[in-house]
């Protein structure tokens, strides 16, 4: 990696970077599918190897055209190239359980060996021109252009054992043509951005200086995107193209007053993107035994409109601060995965589809205050409200095809803490409550009313002469209202630590004990438009750890 900067007679900065990586690994996975009983089991084992390298060169700069009129020209350019080669081998052992106990389960083994290669070259640049119209109004034109060329091949073979391509002599005879493909993609984008803004300045009473900011800004983006893809997969040999013009815009207003201690920020954004051309190709990928992927020629890109408002009040060092925000995000289009299921063999088929009409609203409030002139005591309170109207594809119990489903979630969250801090002693008491109410239109969706709440105490003290720091905290984490008793838990977490500086503070030894009572649960719960998601994390729930930190610094000699 190398960076070079120049400030006179113009500003110029260049950066060069090169990476090389070599990889090898192994992996295992287990999958079980249940209805009233176990229907399909799949066990897989695999290994991989590969290498990759990448390099890029970037240059950017600016120079004045007319100093008196405050006109200047900016530019940047970047070239990037990367190569990635990898080889993978999988063994899938799939067992389909019999519908009747008299029939033995059907077991089959499939070997997949994949040879993957990807190479891309990307170049981009932009040039900008700033025009000073009036005393505090500027017009900025910036044109971005980029071009990309990509080549990818992904060949799939079916040997009779777990082998990498480098270990197989005759590859053609065992090639899977329907799941092997060659892809050549060329695309370019030209984006002319227009930015009209009004600047202002305010006197900061705490710093006794003027601070400049953008009072308002209108931003218009006019991207033209062209994609071209030559795609070969089995009997499919197609040349696809798409050219799209998708203008986007945003408007932002900001105002400071009371010596810049208070400010209001309002913004409105509309953004629309283009879909991946590969997702619009009519293809079928069944390289994995239980998963089939399809393309969708009618797929469109994502689009949303978002409004945000923020208010901030800094009452000063002795009085604290206050913050209030609200936002609303409407999704004109999202991309979801539709799903069909074959109960006879346990195969899932996925296809990207557009979903419209989701939205979300969010509000936040927080306040901080100090107590007394010496400010030993302080307190904090916050509140949070979320309304989420989520839409996604989901299957009802007993069905074999997904439909667009809606889940409405109202979430209310509130927390507070009070703290005492004087010299070497610090103590803090805190609590938090979160309530979620979710309703769904699916027939088998059970209304959720769940409470997550926590409360605890933490303290820290440093012995004056020894400089030994003692710290401990205890928190109760509780959950109520979930459908499973495994989630309605009370976890009392106690942590402690002791640290000692050595060698005049250069070496810090710290002994930490986490979750002394072995109560921590590694479970997270979320509700989305498909219903509910429960996630278990494999992590170290309790431990004792010794930290040794050495601080070293050397200052240059004064000339």
Secondary structure (DSSP) of 37-72: SEEEEEEEEEEEEEEEEEEEEEEEEEEEEETTTTEE
Candidate from 36-50, 110-124, 242-256, 438-452 with smallest mean pLDDT: 438-452
Q: Using the predicted structure, report yes or no on whether residue 528 has a pLDDT greater than 60.
A: no
Mean pLDDT of the chain: 88
Q: Using the predicted structure, report yes or no on whether residue 247 has a pLDDT greater than 70.
A: yes
Q: Using the predicted structure, report yes or no on whether residue 546 has a pLDDT greater than 70.
A: yes
Rounded CA separation 376/394 (Å) = 54
Beta 38-66 vs 71-96: how paired, if at all?
A: antiparallel
Q: Using the predicted structure, report yes or no on whether residue 526 has a pLDDT greater than 80.
A: no
* pLDDT at res. 494: 93
Rounded CA separation 149/228 (Å) = 10
Burial classification of residue 209, based on how many CB atoms lie within 10 Å of its CB (0-12 exposed, 13-18 middle, 19 or more buried): exposed
Contact indicator for 318, 375 with CB cutoff of 8 Å: yes
Rounded CA separation 362/411 (Å) = 9
* pLDDT at res. 522: 61
Confidence of residue 518 (pLDDT cuts 50, 70, 90): confident
Q: Mean pLDDT across the stretch 445-471?
A: 91
Q: Using the predicted structure, report yes or no on whether residue 317 has a pLDDT greater than 70.
A: no
Confidence of residue 210 (pLDDT cuts 50, 70, 90): confident
Confidence of residue 463 (pLDDT cuts 50, 70, 90): very high
* pLDDT at res. 559: 61
Q: Is 259 helix (H, G, I), strand (E, B) or coil?
A: coil
Q: Mean pLDDT across the stretch 315-334?
A: 87
């Amino acid at each position: 990696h190398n960076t070079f900067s120049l400030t006179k007679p113009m500003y110029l900065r260049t950066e060069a970077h090169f990476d090389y990586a070599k990889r090898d690994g192994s992996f295992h996975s287990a999958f079980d599918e249940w209805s009233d009983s176990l229907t399909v089991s799949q066990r897989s084992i695999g290994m991989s190897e590969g290498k990759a390298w990448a390099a890029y060169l970037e240059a950017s700069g600016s120079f004045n055209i007319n100093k008196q009129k405050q006109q200047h020209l900016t530019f940047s350019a970047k070239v990037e190239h990367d190569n990635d080669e990898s080889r993978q081998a999988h063994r899938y052992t799939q067992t389909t359980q019999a519908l009747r106990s008299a029939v033995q389960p059907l077991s089959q083994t499939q070997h997949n060996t994949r040879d993957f290669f990807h190479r891309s070259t990307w170049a981009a640049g932009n040039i900008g021109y700033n025009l000073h119209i009036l005393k505090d109004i500027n017009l900025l034109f910036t044109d971005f252009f980029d071009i990309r060329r990509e080549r990818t091949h992904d060949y799939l073979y079916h040997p009779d054992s777990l082998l990498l391509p480098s270990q197989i002599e005759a590859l053609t005879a065992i090639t899977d043509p329907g799941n092997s493909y060659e892809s050549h993609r060329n695309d370019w984008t030209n984006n002319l951005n227009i930015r009209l803004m009004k600047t202002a300045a305010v006197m900061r009473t705490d710093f006794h200086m003027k601070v400049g900011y953008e009072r308002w800004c209108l931003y218009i983006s006019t991207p033209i995107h062209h994609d071209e893809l030559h795609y070969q997969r089995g009997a499919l040999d197609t040349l696809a193209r798409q050219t799209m013009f998708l203008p986007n815009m945003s408007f932002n207003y900001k105002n400071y007053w009371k010596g810049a201690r208070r400010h209001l920020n309002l913004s409105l954004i509309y953004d629309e993107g283009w879909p991946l051309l590969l997702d619009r190709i009519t293809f079928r990928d069944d390289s994995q035994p239980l998963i089939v992927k399809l393309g969708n020629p009618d797929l469109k890109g994502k689009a949303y409109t978002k409004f945000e408002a923020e208010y901030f009040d800094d009452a000063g060092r002795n009085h604290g601060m206050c913050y209030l925000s609200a936002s609303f995000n409407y999704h004109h289009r999202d991309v979801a995965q539709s799903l069909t299921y074959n109960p006879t063999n346990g195969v899932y088929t996925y296809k990207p589809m557009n979903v419209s009409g989701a939205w979300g609203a969010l509000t936040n409030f927080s306040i901080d205050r100090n107590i007394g002139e010496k400010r030993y005591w302080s307190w904090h309170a916050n509140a949070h409200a979320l309304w989420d109207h989520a839409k996604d594809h989901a299957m009802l119990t007993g069905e074999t095809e997904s439909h667009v489903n809606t889940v409405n979630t109202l979430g209310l969250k509130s927390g507070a803490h009070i703290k005492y801090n004087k010299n070497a002693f610090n103590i803090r008491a805190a609590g938090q409550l979160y309530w979620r109410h979710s309703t769904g239109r699916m027939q088998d969706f059970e209304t959720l009313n769940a409470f997550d709440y926590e409360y605890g105490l933490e303290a820290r003290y440093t012995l004056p002469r020894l400089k030994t720091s003692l710290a401990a905290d205890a928190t109760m984490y509780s959950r109520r209202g979930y459908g499973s008793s495994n989630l309605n838990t009370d976890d009392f977490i106690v942590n402690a630590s002791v640290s000692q500086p050595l060698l005049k503070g250069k070496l810090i030894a710290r002994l930490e004990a986490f979750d002394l009572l072995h109560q921590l649960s590694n479970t997270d719960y979320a509700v989305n438009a498909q219903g509910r998601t429960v996630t278990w994390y494999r992590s170290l729930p309790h431990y004792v750890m010794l930290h040794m930190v050495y601080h070293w610094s050397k200052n240059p000699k004064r000339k």
